[in-house]
Chain A
Amino acid sequence: MKKEELFGKTWDELVIICRELNMPKYAVRQVTDWLYKKSVTSIDGMTNLAAEYREALKERFDLGLTPPMKVQVSADGTKKYLFQTGPNRYVEAAYIPDEDRATLCISSQVGCKMGCLFCMTGKQGFQANLTPGEIVNQIHSLPERETLTNIVYMGMGEPFDNLEAVLKSIEILTAEWGYGWSPRRITVSTIGIIPSMLSFLERSQAHLAVSLHTPFEEERRKIMPVEQVYPLPELIKAVKSWDFGRQRRISFEYILFKDFNDTPKHVKELARLLNGLRCRINLIRFHPIPGTPLEGSDDQAIKAFKDALNEKGILTTIRASRGQDIYAACGLLSTKELLSS
């Protein structure tokens, strides 16, 4: 039988584990140091732990670190890494270096249940939730780990459909006993699962990005099934009810579709909807997926949309398309082909 994985355990969980294995309290610090601050490739490698404790840990746990199986490199320097998380289970992470920053876009689920019309991951259906260890492993096992400046939970899956694991992964990334990252370098993206989103806002300090894609409920229903359950007005009300303070950022993701959500009417309604919220809109080019009935707006329309929003006083940027040639760009991550092979 497959053993549990040690990598991905939080401090509190390790306190319990050490107690159960009759290990001294100070061993918790030793184990977290080995897991999250040093590079260790086996439990045996935790050399300052007494041999009997290493044996006890090995009896119950695997280390749980998995190097990427494959990497694809884009002409623009973006890299797409493939990780295996179980038999017939794979996820992708996209490493996006820029001039002064390097962002890693990580996955939270194998596949996704949300079925957004424009998304390749959605087409693959849902296979599994990632554990906290599998989420953090995408960062820990990245060859470029030391160069990372930002982490975004915008890869495969809806993070708030796997909230507890996502929160634990953020705890590991930001805790002093973990990687000690500032939560301000982490952004979690959601399509708007309201109860989990509010829970995330309460229990973490990381930034929030909400996939909006249109300010009109009726249109959103056509491209995002989640709209039936958590309608837009309630989503915006929930976001507005939260005090983000000065440090924490709320942004909205907006993929531009030709003749669907890129008109002046949309600009006007966005300005009305987001009125009073200190936020930013990230405009995203649509990267077509097979069989899609949607068409992306052209560069001119995107620029015009951006200018119109900026004129309305909404800080708006256009996200550069990166890694399109290796299917690493926004909305293109998928491991469906591997499932059937």
Chain B
Amino acid sequence: MLCYLYLQVFNVDQENMQEGLREVEIVSVEEIADKVYILEFERFFEFEAGQIIKLAWPGEAKPRLYSIASGEKQPNIQILFNVVGEGQLTPMMAGMRHGDKILASMPLGKFTGTGGPAWWIAQGTGIAPFASMLRSGQTHNKTLIHGGRYHNSFYYQDEFIPMLGERYIRCSSKDSGDSLYHGRVTDYLKSIDHLPVGPLYYLCGSAEMVVETRDILIEKGVGFGEIVSEIYF
């Protein structure tokens, strides 16, 4: 039995070493909407807005990927996540408290901004990389379109409204009023006659949203080379 346990721990450590994970202490975990949380821990690396990290539960071998939602210079790393029913990691993350430990990697990924004009199109927690970009000062020349169900699905909206004004469009599939566009992101895009030529179009969210949105953009004349997609697979 002892030997078995030793092997289990050993395997996990091996795996974690491979994945380059280190233990970090949770600063806070806060529920901001139904089953949607923000988790924070102290930043221990430099990163580029738009990048992701791996997170894993200590003892559970397979890490998951999460976009960093905080700005490049903010002291804490923020992760915006929603709890996946029967998920292995997110229900555990939601139950964490100040002082608990989680495993985190160095930043990775290339879904980063260029400084040029861009349309950012996100669904649900897919807003996270754009939140990071905005909080890192990339507000000029940017249009943000966010899709969510309810009026409280537009995470960080209090921060984004003053930053972007009319260049911040919230598409709510269930609610209306409150300056919301009533419909999905794809409905909103379909309703635009002429999409601007020049900006890069960044898409982030589920496979379904990214693929459908990409098809609409291409149909409306956007070159596929102008579309940069990140899928939360």
Which residues of A line the B interface, CB within 8 A? 111-115, 117, 122-123, 125-126, 158, 161, 195, 198, 217, 221-223, 225-229, 231, 291, 293-294
Contacts and interface: CB of A to CB of B under 8 A. Distances in A.
Given A115-B214, A125-B207, A195-B19, 6 more contacts: A126-B206, A195-B18, A225-B231, A229-B108, A229-B109, A293-B218
Contacts of B207: 111-115, 122, 125-126
Between A115, A117, A122, A222, the greatest number of chain B beta carbons within 10 A of the residue's beta carbon is seen for A115
Closest CB pairs A-B (n = 5): A113-B233, A125-B208, A113-B207, A225-B229, A228-B111
Contacts of B18: 195, 198
Nearest to B129: A228
B87 to A, nearest CB: 13
A228 B223 contact: no
A228 B228 contact: yes
Contacts of A198: 18
A291 B219 contact: yes
B230 A228 contact: yes
A221 B230 contact: no
Nearest to B232: A113
B52 A229 contact: yes
Between B19, B210, B211, B214, the greatest number of chain A beta carbons within 10 A of the residue's beta carbon is seen for B211
A225 B230 contact: yes
Contacts of A161: 233
B162 interface: no
A59 B157 CA distance: 53
Interface in B189-233: 206-208, 210-211, 214-215, 218-219, 223-225, 227-231, 233
A227 B110 contact: yes
Interface of B: 18-19, 52, 63, 65, 108-111, 206-208, 210-211, 214-215, 218-219, 223-225, 227-231, 233
B229 A294 contact: no
Nearest to A228: B111
Contacts of B210: 115, 225
A113 B232 CA distance: 8
A123 B210 CA distance: 10
A89 to B, nearest CB: 15
Nearest to A117: B224
Contact of B110 (A115, A158, A221): A221
Contacts of B229: 115, 225, 228
A47 to B, nearest CB: 38
Between A161, A198, A221, A294, the greatest number of chain B beta carbons within 10 A of the residue's beta carbon is seen for A221
Nearest to B54: A195
Contact of A123 (B65, B211, B219, B231): B211
A258 B111 CA distance: 26
A113 B231 contact: yes
Contacts of B111: 228-229
A223 B233 contact: no
Given A126-B208, A195-B19, A229-B109, A294 B224 contact: yes
Nearest to B50: A228
Nearest to A123: B211
Contacts of B109: 228-229
A123 B214 CA distance: 10
Between A112, A113, A158, the greatest number of chain B beta carbons within 10 A of the residue's beta carbon is seen for A113
Contacts of A226: 231, 233
Contact of B211 (A115, A229, A231): A115
Given A115-B207, A161-B233, A229-B52, A221 B228 contact: yes
Contacts of B19: 195
A293 B224 contact: yes
Nearest to A122: B211
B205 to A, nearest CB: 11
Nearest to B219: A291
B130 to A, nearest CB: 14
